[in-house]
Amino acid sequence: MAFSPDGHYFATASGDRTAQVVALDVTARVLPPLRYTAAVEAVTFSGDSQYLAVAGEDFKVDVLKIAPDKPSWPASKDVSLGGTAFVIALDQTGKYLVTLTFGGLLDLWDVESTKKIRGFKVDTLGGSLVSFTQDDRFLVVAAPSADTSGLSLWPLAGGDPVKLPAKGNIDLVSFSPDGKYLAVAAANNEPAQVWRYDGASFQDDAILFQQVTFTNLTFGSNNLLVTAGADNVVRIWALGLAPSEDLASEACARLTRNLTIEEWNTHLSSYLGTYRRTCTNIP
């Protein structure tokens, strides 16, 4: 299932060989169902919410213009694949499509011509995520493999990927509405990580720690990142704030003790090196 980025539509994929779109207005209108000859595995919207992509077990992906006031759907662009796509993504304007098929084949397609632009191999489908940056300059790939280990950014114009030092097997990825921040989290109790994107490169911005695994994350307005944890607590993190002039003193005034060596080694050693006491005025 998928929500359109503008919040106006909700789409579902079903094993009954249909895809369904609901217009989320005051009447929650159900658009005419899209019927196929095989089970539907995935649906997604373009960044501008104008296009819908539908992937099924008939080895193709349909890309359709959303026309809520029409009695039927307009003709689709059909992208033929070599297998069933389980993960799909559209760019901001519906010009490019990315598909991940069984066997770990990740391909980038031109929707208008339905021709493949480039492809690369990932090792598994489990936890694999793909997304476009808001300016459509990079394809973000979170999938374990020899050439896309951790988190990789593939330039759509061509060239080698940029690799970000993500921790763990990434299974949560979110961009801020303005496209300036990328946040990711893994399923194995690793901290969440945030990068700032300036249109050309990604720079480390924040590392978010909690005692349990992150189970979800998404951006709200004003660069607020909302996360959920395995402790059933929702947390809101403010990004982009100017740092305190004396952040260490401010933290020590609120804490009752330093981290133990074990806690430091578990949560901080890979980021900050060997153990050291941060606050000299508390145990």
pLDDT in tens, 37-83: 999 999 999 999 999 999 999 999 999 999 877 777 888 999 999 88
CATH label of the domain that carries residue 56 = 2.130.10.10
Mean pLDDT of 112-117: 94
pLDDT in tens, 146-181: 444 468 888 888 777 788 888 777 888 888 888 899
| Of 187, 142, 140, nearest in space to 166 by CA | 142
Q: How many domains does the chain have?
A: 2
Structural domain boundaries, residue 3:
1-121
Q: Tell me whether residue 196 is in a domain.
A: no
Query: Residue 272: its pLDDT value, please?
Result: 75
**What is the edge-to-edge ordering of all strands in the sheet holding 105-110?**
85-90, 96-101, 105-110, 115-121
Query: Residue 147: its pLDDT value, please?
Result: 44
Q: Tell me whether residue 237 is in a domain.
A: no
What is the percent of the chain with per-residue pLDDT over 70, rounded to a whole number? 89
Residue 125, pLDDT above cutoff 70: no
Determine which of 73-77, 127-131, 246-250, 257-261 has the lowest per-residue pLDDT on average.
246-250
The structure tokens listed for 145 are 């493999």
Q: What is the DSSP string of 182-235?
A: EEEEESSSPPEEEEEE-SS-EEEEEEE--SS-EEEEEE-STTEEEEEETTS-EE
**Cβ(110)–Cβ(117) below 8 Å:** yes
Distance CA 226, CA 219 (A): 6
State the pTM of this model: 0.75
Query: Residue 122: its pLDDT value, please?
Result: 64
Single out the residue in 121, 148, 179 at which a domain terminates.
121
Q: Tell me whether residue 224 is in a domain.
A: no
Query: Residue 54: its pLDDT value, please?
Result: 95
Single out the residue in 121, 136, 161 at which a domain terminates.
121
Q: Across the chain, what does the average pLDDT equal?
A: 84
Single out the residue in 66, 92, 121 at which a domain terminates.
121
Tell me how crowded residue 48 is: count the other CB atoms within 10 A of its CB.
14
Q: Tell me whether residue 190 is in a domain.
A: no
Q: Tell me whether residue 116 is in a domain.
A: yes
pLDDT in tens, 181-220: 999 988 777 889 999 998 888 898 888 888 888 998 988 8
Q: Tell me whether residue 229 is in a domain.
A: no
| Band of pLDDT at residue 94, cut at 50, 70 and 90 | very high
Q: Tell me whether residue 91 is in a domain.
A: yes
Q: Tell me whether residue 15 is in a domain.
A: yes
* Residue 244: C-alpha distances to residues 59, 241, 250, 277 (Å): 54, 9, 8, 20
